[in-house]
Amino acid sequence: MQRQLREIAGPLLGLVLIWVVIWALAPIARDWEAIDNVLENSTGSGLFIMCCGMTIALIGNCLDLSVGSIYALVSVVVGQLLVAHMFWPLAVVIGLGAGALCGITNGVIVVKTGIPTLIATLGTQLAFRGVADMWGAGVDMEQFGKNFDWLGSGLPGPLLLSAIAFLTIWFILSKTRLGFQVYAQGGNAEVARLAGIPVKRNIVLIYMICGIMAALGAIVYTARVDFAYVDRGQGMEMWAIAGVVIGGTSMFGGVGGVSRTIIGVLIYESIFAGLIYLHYDAFWQLVATGAVLIVAVWVDHTQRRASASRRPGVTSAKKRSLWNRVGIGS
């Protein structure tokens, strides 16, 4: 517990300082409604849920640029099923299945071709977007009913689904063999492979989980606005990466956690909200978020270099302990 608190201490302090500045300069933001808006935007758009999936992807060194297109594709799939009067829980399950299939496709391409994850998922980003355009262009998909709309309405529904996403990723990373192996291969995939970790299988599972989280985020936002559209999710992969990295998860793999992601997403949304309350134009929101992202990556890179330079040798006992944690050895 103490270690986890230390890990989020820096981002949490940054979040507090951001709100101190906002409250000092914009009295209108001192109302609870300002915080409520930040929470609703973080959960209602599906951004936090998508960031949960991106967290496990970045820890495992599996960058995924296709999540925005998966978001659009699942919105179209679920929208068409609902306007065809399918029972909404079944439509949700099929939508999650579509996200999982997209994720598996990403993983298989990376594993079978060996091409960099950046290029592989950039290609599937275009492909999934094309499929969404093909299926959803010119189709009227709206007014899905109150039962489905509750998933995205206000704060309770999105907050519940965000909590489920958080607990799922937290459990995988903290309590399962897969989670320990994700950290190990994210730190050094070749060493993990030589130690007997099924790196290729794990890559497929990581992308599948990431796809499911993107699909769940799409379902939440589709329910929130009560219509589906093919242009959903454009650029959301960048916002997902930004939220995760600002929270302290490393872009270089092996370091991070979903608890940090909560803080990162809140920082991201707080910057947006604060600049609105301070009456800055929208483009300054992008400039500020980009600057914070660059600083977060620079700090992570500096810390990793400093840690590597002073890292002592690893004893055989420590090696055995590590591989026992990730499921190798006795």
Encoding tokens for residue 37?
């808006």
Is the confidence at residue 175, as pLDDT, over 90? yes
Residue of 204 and 136 predicted with greater confidence: 204
Q: What is the pLDDT of residue 315?
A: 47
pLDDT digits (tens, 9 = 90+) for 197-222: 999 999 999 999 999 999 999 999 99
Q: What is the pLDDT of residue 191?
A: 92
Residue of 210 and 45 predicted with greater confidence: 210
Predicted TM-score of the model (pTM): 0.87
Q: What is the pLDDT of residue 3?
A: 63
Average pLDDT over residues 35-50: 83
Which of the four pLDDT bands, split at 50, 70 and 90, describes residue 314? very low
Is the confidence at residue 299, as pLDDT, over 80? no
Q: What angle do CA 23, 29, 31 make, to 5 degrees?
A: 110
Is the confidence at residue 279, as pLDDT, over 70? yes
Q: What is the pLDDT of residue 162?
A: 92
Q: Which of 182-186, 200-204, 226-230, 299-303 has the lowest mean pLDDT?
A: 299-303
Is the confidence at residue 196, as pLDDT, over 50? yes
Average pLDDT over residues 297-301: 78
Closest CA to 55 of 210, 185, 234: 210
Q: Are 184 and 192 in contact (CB under 8 A)?
A: yes
Is the confidence at residue 318, as pLDDT, over 70? no
For residues 39 and 53, give the distance between their C-alpha atoms in angstroms, rounded to a whole number. Answer: 19
Residue of 298 and 306 predicted with greater confidence: 298
Q: Report all structural domains of the chain as residue ranges with CATH numbers, in order of start.
A: 21-305 (1.10.3470)
Q: What is the pLDDT of residue 2?
A: 59
For residues 73 and 53, give the distance between their C-alpha atoms in angstroms, rounded to a whole number. Answer: 17
Q: Which of 24-33, 118-127, 240-249, 300-309 has the lowest mean pLDDT?
A: 300-309
For residues 225 and 141, give the distance between their C-alpha atoms in angstroms, rounded to a whole number. Answer: 11
Residue of 278 and 261 predicted with greater confidence: 261
Q: What is the pLDDT of residue 88?
A: 93
Q: What is the pLDDT of residue 13?
A: 86
Is the confidence at residue 156, as pLDDT, over 50? yes
Q: How large a percentage of the chain has pLDDT more than 90?
A: 45
Which of the four pLDDT bands, split at 50, 70 and 90, describes residue 183? very high
Q: Which of 43-47, 103-107, 185-189 has the lowest mean pLDDT?
A: 43-47
CB neighbours of 320 closer than 8 A, spacing ≥ 6? Answer: 329
Q: Are 63 and 240 in contact (CB under 8 A)?
A: no
